[in-house]
Copies of this chain bind each other. A is one copy, B any other.
Amino acid sequence: MEWINGGVCAPKGFKAGGIHCGIRPNQTKKDLALIVSDTPCTAAGMFTKNAVKAAPVLVDMECIKSGTAKAVFANSGIANACAPHDMENALAMQKLAADALGVPAGQVLVGSTGVIGKDLDIAKIEAGLPLLMDTLSADEAGSDSAASAIMTTDTVKKEYAVSFEVNGKEAVIGGISKGSGMIHPNMGTMLCYLTTDCAVSPAILKKALKEVCDVTFNRISVDGDTSTNDSLIILANGQAGNACIEAEDEDYAVFAAALKEICTALARKMAKDGEGAKHLITCRVASCESEAKAETLAKSVIGSSLTKAAIFGEDANWGRVLCALGYSGEAFDPLQTDIAFASEAGRIDVCAKGKGLAFDEDLAKKILHEDEVIIDIEMNEGEASAVCWGCDLTYDYVKINGDYRT
């Protein structure tokens, strides 16, 4: 397995592009993205579990039932959720792209991200589409533009590609995603679009996507707010020429492993670029009774406002970590719990068997000053473990969200 450049354009047969069409007021911000395969694809998707679902999510949930799709058309700036004409506009958006591409409407998946409650100006999308079609590119620049065009409060693009060998053939998975607020584990994710030239049947593609989503995107949190628009979509066009993966065999294992790598990288980057974040927080809960329990415990820690604020302050306040484990809803013996902080600057044990240890405050400050801080927890009760990712709570999170809408 090897990291390569090119994002969603790295697999054979995919083009992408992104432009500014006027949905976002700032003319330097791209706001309309298109990803399209030259040939038919199998497709799978995971969507928000929020009871309030944006119109494009409802459209995609219906279309994805066919197990096929050829393109993804998405905008930023407006979420197209809870707006007077949300469904009408989602369907119009889908039809515009389908007509331009000469495919049935159901072959285009749509996505939106931005402010809830306002109508999309579909005329701007219609006016921008010809330019977008012209800029479609199979090069890295195409994926870059598409990745830019789905960003909202994100400060960096999230774009990866990985190549791997499956049954003697070279295959590639590429992906782009965006954070960075309303990000919380009970979800599909925010917007994430994956492409691959690996040949995979619809059922197996769906299975792999769910399995991987559960241990990657569903293990990050920025702010505990599960969005109305979360969508994770993969298109697989089969141009790698491998024998189509139709069962959970060795090829499946290779494909799923590559998919997990890229989704982990995208998920970590989303957590690290959480609104206002200064630190990526990686919480690892080990020697636990079960993986599900370890995940619940780790999620409780990365979701704790007090722990997040302590990491922002670079303060080794482990009491808040233990407290967050305690209110997770899981039963455990606090008198068996060990906690350490770690980073590239070192590692320090701060709590053993539920009791505070004397520790070097200077070393602790150094450890917590690094970009990525690891909270390492041993439950000392079993063999299972889980890792979740979050970010610190900062002044900038409050600033960004105190006046996002206007």
Taking Cβ atoms with an 8 Å cutoff, the residues of A that contact B are 49-53, 79, 81-84, 86, 115-118, 181-182, 184, 186, 223-228, 303-306, 309-310, 312-313, 315-320, 322-328, 330-332, 334, 351, 354-356, 361, 393-395, 397-406
16 A-B pairs within 8 Å (CB atoms) are namely A51-B330, A53-B326, A117-B351, A117-B355, A117-B356, A118-B356, A182-B306, A225-B304, A225-B324, A226-B327, A310-B404, A313-B402, A313-B404, A315-B405, A316-B405, A361-B406
A312 touches B398 (CB 8 A): yes
Q: Evaluate whether A82 and B184 lie within 8 angstroms (CB atoms) in the complex, with A117-B318, A224-B303 already known.
A: no
With both chains docked as a complex, state the minimum distance between the C-beta of A51 and any C-beta of chain B, in angstroms: 4
A402 touches B83 (CB 8 A): no
Most B CB contacts (10 A, CB to CB) among A82, A116, A304, A313 go to A82
B323 touches A403 (CB 8 A): no
Report the nearest B residue to A222, measured CB to CB.
Answer: B305
Docked pose: A53 CA to B332 CA in angstroms: 12
Instruction: Point out the residues of chain B lying under 8 angstroms from A310, CB to CB.
Output: 401-402, 404-405
Instruction: Point out the residues of chain B lying under 8 angstroms from A327, CB to CB.
Output: 49-51, 184, 186, 225-226
With both chains docked as a complex, state the minimum distance between the C-beta of A354 and any C-beta of chain B, in angstroms: 6
Most B CB contacts (10 A, CB to CB) among A49, A327, A406 go to A327
Report the nearest B residue to A401, measured CB to CB.
Answer: B309
Most B CB contacts (10 A, CB to CB) among A117, A181, A317, A361 go to A117
A305 touches B223 (CB 8 A): yes
Docked pose: A151 CA to B270 CA in angstroms: 38
Kindly identify which residue among B81, B306, B332, B404 contacts A401, using a CB–CB cutoff of 8 Å: B306
Docked pose: A181 CA to B313 CA in angstroms: 16
With both chains docked as a complex, state the minimum distance between the C-beta of A190 and any C-beta of chain B, in angstroms: 13
With both chains docked as a complex, state the minimum distance between the C-beta of A192 and any C-beta of chain B, in angstroms: 18
Q: Evaluate whether A401 and B117 lie within 8 angstroms (CB atoms) in the complex, with A79-B319, A82-B319 already known.
A: no
Q: Evaluate whether A325 and B51 lie within 8 angstroms (CB atoms) in the complex, with A116-B320, A305-B305 already known.
A: yes
With both chains docked as a complex, state the minimum distance between the C-beta of A369 and any C-beta of chain B, in angstroms: 13
Instruction: Point out the residues of chain B lying under 8 angstroms from A306, CB to CB.
Output: 181-182, 223, 225, 401
Docked pose: A81 CA to B337 CA in angstroms: 14
B398 touches A319 (CB 8 A): no
Docked pose: A182 CA to B404 CA in angstroms: 27
Report the nearest B residue to A365, measured CB to CB.
Answer: B406
With both chains docked as a complex, state the minimum distance between the C-beta of A140 and any C-beta of chain B, in angstroms: 34
Docked pose: A328 CA to B310 CA in angstroms: 26
Docked pose: A405 CA to B79 CA in angstroms: 40
B117 touches A224 (CB 8 A): no
With both chains docked as a complex, state the minimum distance between the C-beta of A365 and any C-beta of chain B, in angstroms: 10
4 residue pairs, one from A and one from B, having the closest CB atoms = A116-B319, A313-B402, A52-B326, A117-B356
Instruction: Point out the residues of chain B lying under 8 angstroms from A304, CB to CB.
Output: 224-225
Report the nearest B residue to A334, measured CB to CB.
Answer: B52
Report the nearest B residue to A223, measured CB to CB.
Answer: B305
